[in-house]
Each structure stands twice: as C-alpha cells, then as structure tokens.
Amino acid sequence: MLIIYRLLLVIVSSGLAALAFPPFSYWSLALIAWIPLFIAIRGLNPRPAFYLGLLQGFCLYGLTLSWMWNIFSSTAIILWLIVAVFVGISCALTVTLKCSVYWKSTLAAFVWVGAEFFRSEIYMLHFPWMTPGVAMQPSWLSPLIGVYGVSFLIIFSAILLTSAPNRKNVPHYLGTTILIMLFFSGTYRSAPQQGDIPIIAIQNETGSHLDSLELTQQALADKDAPATQGFILWPELAVNARALDVPYLREDLYTFSSATHHVFVFGAYTNADTPSKREGLNYNSAISLHRSNLLGVHHKNRPVPLFNDGVQHDIAKSIPTPIGNIGTPICFDCDHEPIIRRMVADGAQAIIVPSLDAEHWTERQHHQHAELFRHRAAENKRWIAVAASSGVTQIIDPHGNRISSIPVMTKGYLIGKVSLTDGRTFYNRYGWMIGYICMAVTALLLLQRILSHFISVFRK
C-alpha cells in the first residue's frame, strides 16, 4: 500500500472522529471513524504503525481540543502529542498480534482500551476526553459496561471489519452486527424522566459570593421558584476564598443558609490539613449546608493537571441531608469514572456538582465537557445537576438525557427538578473493572514484546 494512501486514510480517520464530538456531535460516525486507521496500519511493522497512530491522534486532538491553544498557547502542541502517543502505542502493539482474527480483534480491543484507560485514569496528565466510548450516546449499555466497554466493542468491530476476507466472511458479518447494535442502542434510547425535587443552579463566573447571592435571590423570586424543599447549587469556587475560615464570608453564607429551607451546596476553598504542615495549602471543596448546619464537605479528588487547583484528596463519600443522601463531586472529578461510582456505592441517591468552565476556554470546550456528565449519570443510574461557572449548567436524568440547561457564557440560573434513586448498576458493581482488566492485558503484552525483542537481540 502506498504511503500516500495510508496517510489519506489516517486523515480521514481523524476527520470522521472529530465530527463525532461536539460541536458537531455526529455521534454515529464514531462507529466507523477508527476503521480507516486500522486499514492504514495493516501489514506494517510496529515503528511505522506507531507513527501513523501518532499522526491520527495528533490530528484528532488538534482538531477537537484546539481550544487548548487559548489556555496554553504553543504548549498545546506538546499536550496533543502526549495524548496522541497512546494511540501510537496501541497501533504499534496491534500490528504485532499474529493470531486468528477473533483473538487478534479481542486482544487489539484490550490494547486500545488498556492504553485509553491508563491515559485517562492513571497517567499524571489524566485526560479522559475524546475516546470512542465518550463520542457515543449514553444508552442501555452504559449501566452495564460504561464508556470503556463501549470503546472495546467499537475497536473490536473495527478490527474484525479490517481483517482479510475469507470465503464465509463471518468476522465481517459479526463486526457489522455489533456496529448495527451500537447504532440502534444510541438511536432508540429511554424516554426522558421527570424529577420531583426542586433545584436552583446558579451560573456565575465572577467568584463573588455576593453575585451568586443576588442571582439566587432573583431565582427564589421567580414565578417558577420552588415552594417545597430542594437544593440550591452554586458553581465550583463560587466563593474564591476559604469560606469557612473568613469571618464575614462564613457569616454571610450561614445567614443565607439559615434563612432558606433548601439544602445549599457551593464551591469554595478550605484549609488543607496535610502531613507536610505547609501553610497556605487549600483543598478545592464542595460544602453542603442546611439551616446553617454543616452537613458535609467533599474535597476534589481530581485537581486539573497544570493548574493551581488545590491539594488532591482521595475520599469520595455520600453526604446525608434532610432530603436524601447526595454526592458532591467537583467538576473534573466527574470526568473520571471512579469518583461518582464510589459515592453511589456509598449510598448517594443524587449527584449535585459544582463545576467550573472558564469563559475564555470557549463554548466548544464547555459542550465537550458537558457530555461526560451524561455518561456518568447513565453508568450509575443517578440524576446529576451541574452548576457551571459559565456553562453548561444542566440537569441530567439517570438515562443520560439532558432534561434542561441554560445558555452558556451568560450569568443566570436554572430552575429544575431532580429525583433520588436507589440501587447500584452492574457497571457500578462490576463493569468498572473492564478498564483495569484491559490495562493489565496491555501491560502483559507490552512486557512480552519487550522481552522478546531483548532475547532476539541477545541471541544475535
């Protein structure tokens, strides 16, 4: 195959994949987007396969994550390359698989998801955006196998369809059947549900509690304002200070809390009591109050890499409230699968999220980020309400349907309803292990290839 032909296939692959994500959101293209890549690397040695995978990843992430240039300037190129390396490694390992088409397809899917999971959940620059599973709509598969399981099925099908044809073409029929199933799972989804517990979510970029208080008072005076007890939710770092340690802030917030019958959840800094005993360290926290009583505090488990986002914490528990048990993960916590899963396992019946998406990160970034909350809702069968600094402030039902939202890039408030849900999904109990299993298989394959290489060199 001519190198020009292979390069064109890689460009087509990255282009189709980019169209599957916001702002375009042609999600069904994710089913076929990686097929041209696997055609391009067919018959190659590991090194050229790595470079073609690297190119596909770089083009895909450069297109979809172009908003990173607004934040990091030219350093964004390095970040796109780092994320693309994992695509290159997957391609290099895939071409070394010399076995039957079914074993090769299975192992290649393990490799892809293993590298994807490591990059997303384990690696220090953990970034779980722009994967085949995330591109898909939440569906009935989500509470069974989650986004990593859906990625597995997409890659498994792609390898089957790019295998050499035989007389009966059974692998091709199987791959096509799986893709059709995935298409219909995303097309025919559960109908949106209606909540019964009111919530007011504030969208405010300023970080001033006075602005958020003013917006909240406007919402409470709205003709649609809830009369029954519910939640009031402010964004991440809506109080851009140590809210519980600064007397006038604490007094203002506790006074407001005592004047309303709603459960009040807001984002602020709190003092980080770390073993180092260094002064000035903060947790990025979600604080829950009711009638000026402190119900609980969650500290961010996944601070955003390369930002001053507080000290990392490792506890993710549910918080009892007069309404029910809630989880209050913060922004980037929800991009990763373990935090909400652990809160639900601890009894959280609804997820109430303070979030921050800065206005200068662009509208495209906001909409890409908003999709991850939908997947977490569907994986764990929980209502999720999000108050984001400049959007997307939204309410999502347990099937991953976006029930309501307000325009991004504006100050405002959302009045809606959520519900409490009990029980744990198969994914919450067992399906989450798919990523770890794939990562273990990938590590073993990589180790075996490295050992084989050194043995062959030694024998020479």
Q: Are residues 408 and 307 in the same domain?
A: yes
Q: Are residues 169 and 305 in the same domain?
A: no
What's the CATH code of the domain at 313? 3.60.110.10
Q: Are residues 53 and 155 in the same domain?
A: yes
In a domain, 428, yes or no: no
Q: Are residues 222 and 265 in the same domain?
A: yes
In a domain, 427, yes or no: no
In a domain, 348, yes or no: yes
Asked if residue 23 has a cis previous peptide bond (ω within 30° of 0), the answer is yes
Q: Are residues 175 and 236 in the same domain?
A: no
Q: Are residues 306 and 446 in the same domain?
A: no
Q: Are residues 410 and 452 in the same domain?
A: no
How many helices (H) and strands (E) in the chain? Answer: 15, 13
Longest dimension (CA), the chain: 82
Q: Are residues 150 and 275 in the same domain?
A: no
DSSP 198: E
Please give the chain's pLDDT, 460 residues, in tens.
789 999 999 999 999 999 999 999 999 999 999 999 999 999 999 999 999 999 999 999 999 999 999 999 999 999 999 999 999 999 999 999 989 999 999 999 999 999 999 999 999 999 999 999 999 999 999 999 999 999 999 999 999 999 877 767 789 999 999 999 999 999 999 999 999 999 999 999 998 999 999 999 999 999 999 889 999 999 999 999 999 999 999 999 999 999 999 999 999 999 987 655 556 789 999 999 999 999 999 999 999 999 999 999 999 999 999 999 999 999 999 999 999 999 999 999 999 999 999 999 999 999 999 999 999 999 999 999 999 999 999 999 999 999 999 999 999 999 999 999 999 999 999 999 999 999 999 999 999 988 887 887 787 6
Q: Are residues 405 and 453 in the same domain?
A: no
Give the pTM. Answer: 0.95
Burial classification of residue 456, based on how many CB atoms lie within 10 Å of its CB (0-12 exposed, 13-18 middle, 19 or more buried): exposed
Q: Are residues 246 and 333 in the same domain?
A: yes
In 3-state terms, what secondary structure has residue 139? coil
Q: Are residues 250 and 162 in the same domain?
A: no
Q: What percentage of the chain's residues is helix, strand, coil (to nearest 5)?
A: 50, 15, 35
**What domain count does the chain have?**
2
For 177-276, list the strands marked E by DSSP.
Answer: 197-203, 231-233, 239-242, 263-271
Q: What is the domain extent for residue 406?
A: 197-418
Q: What is the dihedral of CA 171, 176, 181, 184, to 10 degrees?
A: 180
In 3-state terms, what secondary structure has residue 33? coil
Residues 99, 452: Cα–Cα separation, whole Å: 16
Asked if residue 150 has a cis previous peptide bond (ω within 30° of 0), the answer is no
